[in-house]
Structure 1
Amino acid sequence: MKTFLISLGVICTIFLGCHTENEPETARQPHVKADNPVEAGRYLVTVGMCNDCHTEGYMAVEGNIPEDDWLTGSKVGWRGPWGTTYPVNLRLRAQELTEEQWVEQLRTRKVKPPMPWMNVNKMNEQDARAIYAYLRAMGPKGERMPIALAPNQEPTTPYLNMVPLNLPPMAEGGASN
């Protein structure tokens, strides 16, 4: 009977994706499954829309940029009440950090818009590691992007104006009416 139960556990785990009591918590959280972490990372940066900001001109050409040129940052700033921010060169950033530092940064970082850190902070550890593996496999390329500017500093680079216009008053608790 014990052999039968172990066999059921193996079948469940291998073929059905069931979880076991001994499995680490991170493995039980939702995450992308792929043949290897690099493929999972490629998928995540694609569907996570990382290229939209972190690859110069990506949206303007509907993503028709060679993969070798992906994620090298952008000198087009995002200007709003917070100042002007620039999408970092992720290929260089991943070379500067250990895998543990990368995971910790994705879990805890909170910086200026438009980067949706409130969402990235919720990423599963396995997915964060997969993105790191993909970026490291791509290797370093490109240069560092400009540093963020304070609200009173005028950018010398092209920028997108993110100042909202004609917003209705905000209701108590932050939701607009």
Structure 2
Amino acid sequence: MKKTIFLVALITVIGCSTPQETTPIPAEPTTAELLEHGKLLVTVGGCRDCHSPKIFNETGMHFDESRAFSGHPEGSSLPEIDKRALSPGYWVLFSGDLTAAVGPWGMTFARNLTPHETGIKGWSKEVFIKAMRTGQHMGIEKGRPIMPPMPWENQKELSDQDLTAIFTYLQSLKPIDNYVPEPIPASELL
């Protein structure tokens, strides 16, 4: 069990890391170039790892492409929380499909990144960039922080053009109706 938790945590950390360098695109890219670059950044950045439900079968784990980037599945049941995960220095625990996490901050759920009302449909490029730069949900000053395990600290290092490419790609996805709950503070889980 401990080996499995370690392996899941290691895969998540590696998968959610952003590359140090990205493929350059022209100074004034076309929409097609932005989409292609955004798809590359989202893929190598591992965004789908947490923001897409999974299917498990005899060959292992696979992304549920019908729900790609829709976040933690609405109404899905979660096992009882091991309260030790809420203590600093203990393991961060993930749901079986890696769309929910429990740690000293509480419980968080991967957001719906599709252009649906329950996702990021109402977001502008400027809001998206500000959120990635400040670590504040929707870029709202003094709003709630973007919670772990989202590696926004890595994303803030990307150029505006890279973040624009990611946003453009996310806006091109199929909208999926999937309401994701707000984070639950550790104090409410004890």
Structure 1 and Structure 2 fold alike (TM over 0.5): yes
Q: 1:58 to 1:108 in 2, by over 3 A?
A: farther
SS of 1:74's equivalent? coil
CA RMSD of aligned residues (A): 2.5
- Compute the displacement of 1:150 (Å): 1.3
The yes-or-no answer on 1:39 pairing with 2:39 is no
- State the match for 1:74 in structure 2: 72
- Any residues of structure 2 matched to 1:20-31 within 5 Å, and which? 31=22
Structure 2 segments unaligned to the other structure (5+ residues) = 1-20, 26-31, 74-98, 136-144
Q: For structure 1, which segment, 81-90 or 107-116, has the greater mean C-alpha deviation from structure 2 after superposition?
A: 107-116
C-alpha contact 2:100 2:110 (8 A) present in aligned 1: yes
* Distance in 2 between residues matched to 1:129 and 1:85, nearest whole Å: 25
The yes-or-no answer on 1:84 pairing with 2:114 is no
Flag the structure with larger Rg.
1
* Distance in 2 between residues matched to 1:114 and 1:96, nearest whole Å: 23
Match of 1:140 among 175, 182, 187: 175
- Compute the displacement of 1:142 (Å): 2.8
- Compute the displacement of 1:69 (Å): 2.9
| TM-score normalised to structure 2 length | 0.57
- Compute the displacement of 1:54 (Å): 0.3
* Distance in 1 between residues matched to 2:24 and 2:56, nearest whole Å: 27
| TM-score normalised to structure 1 length | 0.61
* Distance in 2 between residues matched to 1:100 and 1:59, nearest whole Å: 37
* Distance in 1 between residues matched to 2:128 and 2:56, nearest whole Å: 26
- State the match for 1:152 in structure 2: 187
- Deviation string, structure 1 residues 105-159 (Cα, Å, up to 9, x no partner): 111115321111211111111111011111111142131211110113349xxxx
Structure 1 segments unaligned to the other structure (5+ residues) = 1-29, 156-177
- Deviation string, structure 1 residues 47-102 (Cα, Å, up to 9, x no partner): 10001100012798544443x53111014421111000000001144311111111
Q: 1:142 to 1:58 in 2, by over 3 A?
A: farther
The yes-or-no answer on 1:51 pairing with 2:48 is yes
The structure that is strand-richer by fraction is: 2
- State the match for 1:99 in structure 2: 125
C-alpha contact 2:52 2:63 (8 A) present in aligned 1: no
